[in-house]
């Protein structure tokens, strides 16, 4: 009987072990959002603080972690945070933009339950309503690889978040009034590094050690060039993709983009400039921080090193040089190049052209001539509760060439399709586009008009996968997307005045009602507003 009892015991242990699935770790954050007086460019202005900090605290996480973020809104107006680059798989309810998520009323709180599912990399969060982004409220997000997943470079001695962006001395309320009055934003007053002006931030390094810098452009409208005096930078990651480890003297970071670089403290043990300057602008804005070698008593001196200014070709060639490291693991142990995107036939091509103009005497911006107008209820909730109020297909799949008109633009695409999007820029400025919920392959970019023959120059092997891409003046950028994340997702310019005045749309990613089974139900305790505010029943 003893062997039988032993066998039964072993069977029960195995059964219990298989029936209990270890849940991914939880990380809890409790944030209070307030106004406070800040002096980033030497004059007092109203800023948005998170737990008294400007910028806000970093979010540290590991692949598949569950993030529980309780946000208390102590402002005098509604507030909402979005998570730039976090895909929120099957859960666009928590994306944190007004088309999907109800704002937090003044004096109330809301808890966001996010999972950084199958992701690694460098991202950031920011306030998405009422031009709050011009007041702060942003911070870094880092998603580390699980310990058993190899990373294609040694652990750095330290890991620094560097948030760069253009900045105004005017309060965000004054800037919003300018836009609401139908005018364009003026030229920015300066550039910040981690919320500070010239030489306001110091990063300490030890001689001979290597450090990781996670650089995000959280600004409103300007592409920026980043460089470290006397030091080379090795690019290792772009918005969740390990890249070929190319070395650069300086790096263009367009609005909304995030990069990780490694620098080695192998220069003279004194203080060196970290320089950020505007690209494609006249005049050129420049600011500095300090790379301080521990033990150094020699401060920075002299003019900071110059960088590129208006050279488009230089920037375009750099962008083309950024490639995926096909042999590196991503969030899973399989190589990043195991998904052969270039061998999949696309099922649809969508061409999206930006434009600017006047509507009823006021400045507006558009995509395919449609300037987005929000409704009184998030589109995702109208869709989920089957209330309607918007039309899928209210924006054409290609430019019409007509004048700008206003509508609530929703583009319908089929779940599990593999599609091509062409961003067309007929204007004289560099633009920057972001898609929530996804990463996409940037397969091509070039000057002039896109044609079907342009596909002959696509990179179908090792194009970088990311969530934000630039489009150069009088140029186009082509991306491929695998539509594997059901939901309603914001596709927008990262130039925030343009986004605020209509240059955005929503992609509704469904096939039919059966694909709703692939989406998570509305989160328990989700805030309801607008036409769904008094609904207490939830559809199956």
Sign of the Cα pseudo-torsion (241, 456, 419, 428, in order): positive
Query: Whole-number mean pLDDT of the chain?
Result: 94
For residues 378-391, average pLDDT = 95
Q: What is the pTM of this model?
A: 0.94
Res. 18: pLDDT tops 90: no
Per-residue pLDDT tens over the stretch 185-205: 999 999 999 999 999 999 999
For residues 516-540, average pLDDT = 80
For residues 484-507, average pLDDT = 98
More confident residue, 10 or 110: 110
Cis, peptide link before residue 480, omega less than 30° from 0: no
| Residue 101, C-beta contacts closer than 8 angstroms, at least 6 positions apart | 80, 93, 94, 95, 378, 380, 527
- ∠ CA 281-287-291, nearest 5°, is 140
Residue 512: pLDDT band with limits 50, 70, 90:
confident
Task: Note the pLDDT of residue 22.
Answer: 56
For residues 361-389, average pLDDT = 96
β-bridge pairing 247-248 and 233-238: antiparallel
Task: Note the pLDDT of residue 2.
Answer: 37
Res. 330: pLDDT tops 80: yes
Per-residue pLDDT tens over the stretch 96-147: 999 999 999 999 999 999 999 999 999 999 999 999 999 999 999 999 999 9
d(CA 302, CA 519): 57
Q: What is the DSSP letter of 109?
A: E
The token pair at 51 is 């737990």
Residue 8: pLDDT band with limits 50, 70, 90:
very low
For residues 404-419, average pLDDT = 97
DSSP-derived 3-state class of residue 383: helix
Cβ atoms of 74 and 500 closer than 8 Å: no
Reduced DSSP (H G I as helix, E B as strand, rest coil) percent helix, strand, coil of the chain, to 5: 15, 40, 45
Per-residue pLDDT tens over the stretch 440-471: 999 999 999 999 999 999 999 999 999 999 99
Distances (CA, A) of 243 to 210, 340, 485: 18, 16, 24
Task: Note the pLDDT of residue 3.
Answer: 41
Task: Note the pLDDT of residue 19.
Answer: 33
Task: Note the pLDDT of residue 534.
Answer: 82
């Amino acid at each position: 009987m003893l062997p039988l009892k032993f066998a039964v015991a072993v069977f029960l242990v195995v059964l219990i072990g298989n029936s209990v699935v270890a849940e991914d770790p939880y990380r809890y954050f409790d944030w209070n959002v307030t106004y406070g007086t800040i002096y980033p460019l030497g004059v007092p202005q109203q800023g948005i603080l998170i737990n008294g900090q400007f910028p806000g605290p970093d979010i540290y996480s590991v692949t598949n972690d569950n993030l529980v973020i309780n946000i208390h809104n102590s402002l005098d107006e509604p507030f909402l945070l979005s998570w730039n680059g976090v895909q929120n798989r099957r859960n666009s309810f928590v994306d944190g933009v007004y088309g999907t998520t109800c704002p937090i009323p003044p004096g109330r709180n809301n808890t966001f339950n996010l999972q950084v599912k199958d992701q690694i990399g460098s991202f950031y969060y920011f306030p998405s309503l009422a031009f709050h982004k011009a007041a702060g409220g942003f911070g870094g997000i880092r998603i580390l690889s699980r310990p058993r997943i190899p990373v294609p470079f040694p652990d750095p001695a330290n890991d620094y978040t560097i948030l760069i962006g253009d900045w105004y001395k005017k309060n965000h309320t004054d800037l919003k009034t300018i836009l609401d009055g139908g005018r364009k934003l003026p030229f920015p007053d300066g550039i910040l590094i981690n919320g500070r002006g010239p030489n306001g931030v110091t990063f300490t390094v030890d001689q001979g050690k290597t450090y990781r810098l996670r650089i995000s452009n959280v600004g409103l409208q300007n592409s920026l060039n980043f460089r470290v005096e006397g030091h080379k930078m090795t690019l290792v990651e772009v918005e969740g993709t390990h890249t070929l480890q190319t070395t650069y003297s300086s790096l263009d970071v367009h609005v909304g983009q995030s990069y990780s670089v490694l620098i080695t403290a192998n220069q003279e043990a004194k203080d060196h400039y970290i320089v950020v300057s505007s690209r494609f602008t006249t005049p050129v804005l420049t600011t500095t921080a300090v790379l301080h070698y521990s033990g150094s008593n020699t401060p920075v001196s002299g003019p900071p090193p110059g960088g590129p200014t208006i050279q488009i070709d230089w920037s375009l060639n750099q962008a083309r040089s950024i490639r995926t490291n096909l042999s590196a693991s991503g969030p899973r142990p399989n190589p990043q190049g195991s998904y052969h995107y270039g061998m999949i036939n696309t099922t649809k091509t969508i061409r999206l052209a930006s434009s600017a103009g006047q509507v009823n005497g006021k400045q507006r911006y558009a995509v395919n001539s449609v300037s987005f107008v929000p409704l009184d209820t998030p589109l995702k909730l109208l869709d989920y509760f089957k209330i309607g109020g918007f039309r899928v297909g209210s924006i054409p799949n290609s430019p019409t060439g007509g004048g700008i008109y206003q509508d609530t633009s929703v583009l319908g695409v089929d779940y599990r399709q593999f599609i091509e999007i062409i961003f067309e820029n007929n204007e004289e400025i560099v633009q920057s586009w972001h898609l929530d919920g996804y990463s996409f392959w940037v397969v091509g970019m070039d000057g002039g008009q896109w044609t079907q023959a342009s596909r002959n120059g696509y990179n179908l092997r090792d194009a970088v996968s990311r969530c934000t891409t630039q489009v150069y003046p009088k140029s186009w950028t082509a991306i491929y997307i695998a539509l594997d994340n059901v939901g309603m997702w914001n596709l927008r310019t990262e130039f925030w005045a343009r986004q605020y005045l209509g240059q955005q749309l929503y992609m509704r990613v469904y096939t039919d009602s059966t694909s709703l089974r692939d989406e998570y139900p509305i989160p328990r305790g989700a805030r309801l507003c607008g036409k769904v505010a008094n609904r207490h029943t939830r559809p199956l």
